[in-house]
């Protein structure tokens, strides 16, 4: 039987539409059926820190939306690799999530033992912490230009505090030195509080640390903030210039946290997880728990946006690490 051209075209279009719908149905069904069991969130850090507090608050919100149990597991050690491997060895069904952080990107660049964007499917950022460059109140350096000028005039004598070689702070201070034309001396401390104490006590010339520390000590006259490591000023320090305003052209730095799953997780499940995680991130209970840690709470607009953030951080860290003699064992 033959049909008029218009009818033939209509039948063909109907067939194409039906075929497209048949391909779309599994995706829709996968989102609707997910999750079919308990969800596990792995934190590659010890219990008790900001990441742990935030993830456990998120877990409560996710249990409400998914109507499933959400279990939080701390798996610290091995430079994040114990937690990462727990996720990579689990089925790629979206039921095992990893809480990752910007520190893992630095380890990726320095250690070269994993690739977050290749082995994982990023879901969303959950928040970030702005960073500032600070000196002790008694420091002779009043501006970033003063600091850089001293470093250029006194090679190897300008000291700065970081958590250790290859850390984000070390890489950013190295980038700062390259842009400012000086080479500083890295002095390692256990973490942010000890780094700030070293600045206050005059043990080192400067540090790059979370703004929350500056907000704690600057009003007491113990530290002076020279710049935000950002392309904008912070509302906490409206009179402090951004690092670019201060005359140093480097990329912004914020310490972030976020979530990812195995790279082979079906796209429909990735989309569902992003949607629910993004909603949970801005829940009042989560914001209330994380704000005291100095975090700015926000979710990525899409998984791809988060993936690009990871790639961007890896790019500047790779450039900063070039030429450094770092122990990768």
The parent domain of residue 269 ranges over: 32-128+255-321
Q: Does any domain span residue 26?
A: no
Q: Are 96 and 128 in contact (CB under 8 A)?
A: no
Q: Tell me how many domains the chain contains.
A: 2
Backbone angles phi, psi at 244, to 5 degrees: -70, -40
Please state, for a pLDDT cut of 70, what percent of the chain lies above it. Answer: 89
- What does each C-alpha distance from 86 to 4, 47, 99, 153, 243 come to in angstroms? 61, 17, 12, 49, 39
Q: Does any domain span residue 14?
A: no
Predicted confidence (pLDDT) per residue in 222-232, tens digit: 999 999 999 99
Alpha-carbon span 177 to 74, nearest angstrom: 36
Residues 213 and 300 in one domain: no
CATH code assigned at 120:
3.40.190.150
Q: What is the pLDDT of residue 24?
A: 46
Helix (H, G, I), strand (E, B) or coil at 217: helix
Q: Does any domain span residue 73?
A: yes
User: Which of 10, 9, 108, 64 shows the shortest CA–CA distance to 284?
Assistant: 64
- pTM value is 0.87
Pairing of strands 185-188, 159-162: parallel
Q: Does any domain span residue 23?
A: no
- Say if residue 323's pLDDT is above 90: no
Residues recorded for the chain: 329
Q: What is the pLDDT of residue 30?
A: 54
Q: Does any domain span residue 7?
A: no
| Max Cα distance, the chain (Å) | 95
Q: Does any domain span residue 281?
A: yes
């Amino acid at each position: 039987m033959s049909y008029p051209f218009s009818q033939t075209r209509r039948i063909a279009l109907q067939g194409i539409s039906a075929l497209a719908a048949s391909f779309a149905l599994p995706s829709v069904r996968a989102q609707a059926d997910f999750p079919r069991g308990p969800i596990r969130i792995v934190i590659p850090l010890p219990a008790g820190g900001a990441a742990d507090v935030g993830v456990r608050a998120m877990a409560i919100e996710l249990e409400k939306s998914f109507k499933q149990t959400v279990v939080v597991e701390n798996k610290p050690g091995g430079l994040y690799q114990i937690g990462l491997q727990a996720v990579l060895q689990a089925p790629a069904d979206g039921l095992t999530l990893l809480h990752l952080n910007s520190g893992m990107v630095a380890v990726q660049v320095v250690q070269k033992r994993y690739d977050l964007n290749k082995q994982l499917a990023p879901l969303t950022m959950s928040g970030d912490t702005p960073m500032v460059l600070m000196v002790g109140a008694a420091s002779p350096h009043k501006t970033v230009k003063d600091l850089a000028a001293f470093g250029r005039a006194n090679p190897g004598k300008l000291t700065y505090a970081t958590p250790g070689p290859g850390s984000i702070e070390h890489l950013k201070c190295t980038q700062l030195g390259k842009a400012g034309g000086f080479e500083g001396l890295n002095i390692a401390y256990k973490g942010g509080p000890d780094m700030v104490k070293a600045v206050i006590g005059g043990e080192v010339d400067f540090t790059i640390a979370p703004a929350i520390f500056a907000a704690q000590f600057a009003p007491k006259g113990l530290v002076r903030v020279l710049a935000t490591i950002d392309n904008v000023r912070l509302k906490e320090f409206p009179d402090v210039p951004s690092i670019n305003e201060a005359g140093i052209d480097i990329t912004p730095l914020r310490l972030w946290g976020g979530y990812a799953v195995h790279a082979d997780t079906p796209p429909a499940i990735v989309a569902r997880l992003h949607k629910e995680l993004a909603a949970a991130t801005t829940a009042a209970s989560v914001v209330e728990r994380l704000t005291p840690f100095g975090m700015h709470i926000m979710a990525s607009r899409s998984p791809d946006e988060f993936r690009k953030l990871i790639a961007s951080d890896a790019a500047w860290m790779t450039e900063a690490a070039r030429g450094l003699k770092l122990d990768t064992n």
